[in-house]
């Protein structure tokens, strides 16, 4: 398993294992695909961009993780509250990444707004992780 796959698996375990987040999005509310219809709110692991981050002595990778919180109509508040919980769970988290060492995991930014096509709101979150 690559470090990218193992990191995604660790994110999934961390997010699905939190009772407070499950209360907000339901027990099956974390996905890696875009859902259609009324299956909201939910968190989506939208993208992972991986780059070489090796040093002279250690192999390593930098991962830019994009997560989306999707909620229905009714304002940004719901999306923002869920995004706050996701940030609490992941920012500087000590995740177990099988086959790699997670050096750090940091929140970089969150952008919240209305998605007119999907008739709802989305909070796009970007995290940066480094693995060795």
Cβ(52)–Cβ(66) under 8 Å? no
Cβ(93)–Cβ(12) under 8 Å? no
What's the pLDDT at 46? Answer: 96
What's the pLDDT at 38? Answer: 65
Per-residue pLDDT, averaged over 95-99, amounts to: 96
Q: Higher model confidence: residue 56 or residue 18?
A: 18
For the chain, the domains span 1-74+118-132
Q: What digits encode the pLDDT tens for the residues 77-92? A: 999 999 999 999 999 9
- Determine the longest span between alpha carbons in the chain, in angstroms: 52
């Amino acid at each position: 398993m690559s470090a990218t796959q193992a990191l995604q698996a660790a994110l999934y375990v961390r997010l699905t294992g939190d009772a407070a987040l499950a209360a907000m999005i339901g027990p099956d509310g974390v996905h890696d695909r875009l859902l259609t219809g009324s299956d909201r709110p939910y968190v989506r692991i939208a993208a992972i961009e991986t780059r070489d981050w090796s040093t002279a002595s250690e192999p390593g990778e930098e991962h830019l993780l994009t997560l989306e919180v999707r909620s229905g109509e009714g304002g940004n508040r719901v999306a923002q509250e869920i995004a706050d919980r996701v940030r609490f769970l992941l920012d500087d988290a000590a995740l177990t990444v099988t086959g790699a060492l997670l050096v750090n995991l940091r929140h970089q930014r969150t952008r919240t707004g209305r998605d007119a096509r999907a008739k709802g709101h989305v909070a796009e979150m970007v995290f940066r992780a480094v693995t060795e």
